């Protein structure tokens, strides 16, 4: 499943970049993400991703690897996790691109999401819709956090 | 494989509500079990306690009361397809129930369970919205009525509170001019699209029209914009507006691309079924 979101943030690119690397604040913008830990600064992190569709709940202990980092411009990361209770795996390939436009920064999120295992029984459409909602909420939360900081 | 759970067998709705309130997410109401037990066997959900409501008295009857058909939440699909009162007063519902899933599901599955599980491809919710039904939910000491179109919130989600129990479905008894139909289409076990219409036909004019679409998107929906195109019109005028109403209903269905069909395909089918359902209701 491929997703793409763009969000305009009334902040400089430097400020947005610093925010992305402030793991605790950044992770707080990801719906259902908790217990974020830095394993290796700038390279490897862990977190618990939880999500819910009606009565179906998943909890993925997740490893996030930063694969590429172009200062102030681009981050490429991969998140992988397994929920052993439900027997499902998740893989997210995330590309975050930053570009400046007048007094604001355009942040583009491109995500490739793969869900494998029993969770897929819910149906591709339902999962895609949920993932889309999560990415939307995430993009909005990033915007609010940064613009709210003044 | 089904993991171990505790089976509670309360004797009243108030007790069920109390158990739900006390144990929260670790408890679930168990009626027919046709959806719940499948999900549990698959390991998709696990509950420490199932609250068996099958033996509760008074929730398995169909009755006519002062212009309303009252359907107990524990009525099975099989009971409803064979109920003489349903066949006579709500023939579209009787026909729908005749075609729910397969004979094994109809024997064990209950209407209340079907509605509460809110599986996106379920049939009854769509027709109940078109028929103007309300759901009666009860918790310890109070009851409230929820309009069918407000009952379904999202895929697998209803507006029931955590400790509320769906007890009854109330459907206004259609008058002698009442017309309704539900049609569905699909090529897998569950339907891809379902469309329901209900209206009064008085001297060749349509009034009180209600249109609902289901299965295509995350939850069944009433489509007021499509209704507005047909309401108050003569049969012929309404028939001319059906293509436009169908296009509106298709977009409003929030169709999702999945194994049941692509979004634009489902939207198209909504339009086709609306035309056919309208004709079926008239005939």
B58 touches chain A (CB under 8 A): no
One domain for residues B18 and B48: yes
β pairing state of B152-154 and B157-158 = antiparallel
Contact residues, chain A, for B46 at CB < 8 Å: 85
Q: Are residues B141 and B77 in the same domain?
A: yes
| Number of independent structural domains in chain A | 1
Alpha carbon of B256: minimum distance to chain A alpha carbons (Å) = 5
Task: Name the CA dihedral angle for B106, B109, B113, B118, rounded to a multiple of 10 degrees.
Answer: -50
Domain match, B242 and B187 both: yes
Given a cut of 70, is residue A149 above it in pLDDT? Answer: no
CATH number at residue A99: 3.30.530.20
**pLDDT at position A119 over 90:** no
Q: Do B192 and B207 lie in a common domain?
A: yes
B123, B48: one domain: no
Q: What is the pTM of this model?
A: 0.90
pLDDT at A150 over 70: no
- Please indicate, yes or no, if residue B57 is contained in any of the structural domains: no
Q: Are B20 and B82 found together in one domain?
A: no
- Domain span including residue A37: 2-148
What is the three-class DSSP state of B249? helix
Tell me what pLDDT residue A125 has: 82
Give the nearest partner residue to A55 out of B156, B257, B258, using CB atoms.
B156
Burial of residue B82 (CB within 10 Å: 0-12, 13-18, 19+) is: middle
What pLDDT digit, counting tens, does each position of B54-83 carry? 999 999 999 999 999 999 999 999 999 999
Pairwise CB contact (< 8 Å): B259 & A56? no
The predicted-structure confidence for A61-100, as pLDDT tens digits, reads as follows 999 999 999 999 999 999 999 998 888 999 999 999 999 9
The total number of structural domains that make up chain B: 3
Q: Is the ipTM of this complex over 0.85?
A: no
Instruction: With a cut of 50, list the residues of chain B below it in pLDDT.
Output: none
For the stretch A9-55, pLDDT in tens is: 999 999 999 999 888 888 889 999 989 999 999 899 999 999 888 88
CATH of the domain at B167: 3.30.465.10
- Same domain flag for B228 and B129: no
- Is the domain of B47 the same as that of B67? no
**Do B200 and B207 form a contact (C-beta atoms < 8 A)?**
yes
* Boundary of a domain, candidates B172, B198, B216: B172
Domain that holds residue B30: 6-52
Residue B163 lies in a domain: yes
Residue B1 falls inside a structural domain? no
Domain of B234: which CATH number? Answer: 3.30.390.50
Q: Give B96's DSSP letter.
A: H
pLDDT at position A40: 93
Q: What is the pLDDT of residues A121-145, one digit of tens each?
A: 777 788 888 888 888 999 999 999 9
Neighbours of A14 (CB within 10 A): 12
Task: Tell me the chain B residues in contact with residue A121 when contact means C-beta distances shorter than 8 Å.
Answer: 42, 44
Instruction: Give yes or no: residues B67 and B146 share one domain.
Output: yes
């Amino acid at each position: 499943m491929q997703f793409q979101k763009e969000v305009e943030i009334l902040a400089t690119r430097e400020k947005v970049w610093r925010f992305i690397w402030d793991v605790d604040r950044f992770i707080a913008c990801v719906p259902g993400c908790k217990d974020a830990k830095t394993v290796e600064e700038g390279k490897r992190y862990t977190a618990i991703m939880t999500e819910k569709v009606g009565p179906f709940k998943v909890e993925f202990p997740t490893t996030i690897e930063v694969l590429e980092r172009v200062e102030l411009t681009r981050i490429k990361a991969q998140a992988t996790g397994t929920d052993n209770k439900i027997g499902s795996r998740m893989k997210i390939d995330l590309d975050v691109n930053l570009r400046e436009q007048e007094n604001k920064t355009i942040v583009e999120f491109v995500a490739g999401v793969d869900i494998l295992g029993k969770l897929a029984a819910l149906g591709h459409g339902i999962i895609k819709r949920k993932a889309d909602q999560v990415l939307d909420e995430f993009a909005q939360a990033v915007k609010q956090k940064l613009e709210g900081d003044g | 494989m089904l993991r171990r759970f505790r089976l509670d067998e309360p004797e009243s709705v108030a007790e069920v509500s109390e158990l739900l309130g006390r144990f929260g997410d670790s408890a679930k109401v168990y009626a027919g079990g046709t959806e719940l037990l499948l999900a549990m066997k698959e390991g998709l959900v696990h509950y420490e306690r199932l609250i068996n409501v099958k033996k509760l008295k008074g929730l398995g009857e169909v009755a006519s009361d002062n212009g309303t058909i009252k359907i107990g939440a524990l009525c099975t699909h099989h009971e409803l397809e064979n109920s003489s009162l349903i066949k006579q007063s709500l023939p579209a519902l009787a026909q729908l129930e005749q075609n729910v899933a397969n004979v094994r599901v109809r024997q064990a599955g209950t209407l209340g369970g079907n509605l509460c599980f809110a599986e996106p491809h379920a049939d009854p919710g769509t027709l109940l919205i078109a028929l103007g039904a309300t759901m009666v939910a009860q918790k310890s000491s109070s009851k409230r009525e929820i309009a069918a179109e407000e009952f379904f919130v999202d895929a697998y989600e209803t507006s029931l509170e955590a400790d509320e129990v769906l007890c009854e479905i109330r459907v206004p008894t259609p008058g002698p001019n009442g017309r309704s139909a539900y049609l569905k289409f699909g090529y897998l076990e569950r339907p891809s699209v379902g469309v329901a219409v209900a209206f009064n036909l008085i001297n060749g004019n349509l009034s009180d029209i209600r249109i609902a679409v289901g299965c295509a998107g995350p939850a069944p929906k009433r489509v007021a914009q499509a209704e507005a195109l047909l309401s108050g019109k003569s049969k012929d005028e309404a028939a001319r507006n059906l293509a436009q109403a169908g296009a509106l209903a298709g977009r409003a269905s929030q169709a999702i691309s999945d194994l049941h069909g692509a979004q634009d395909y489902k939207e198209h089918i909504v339009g086709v079924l609306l035309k056919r359902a309208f004709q079926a209701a008239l005939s």
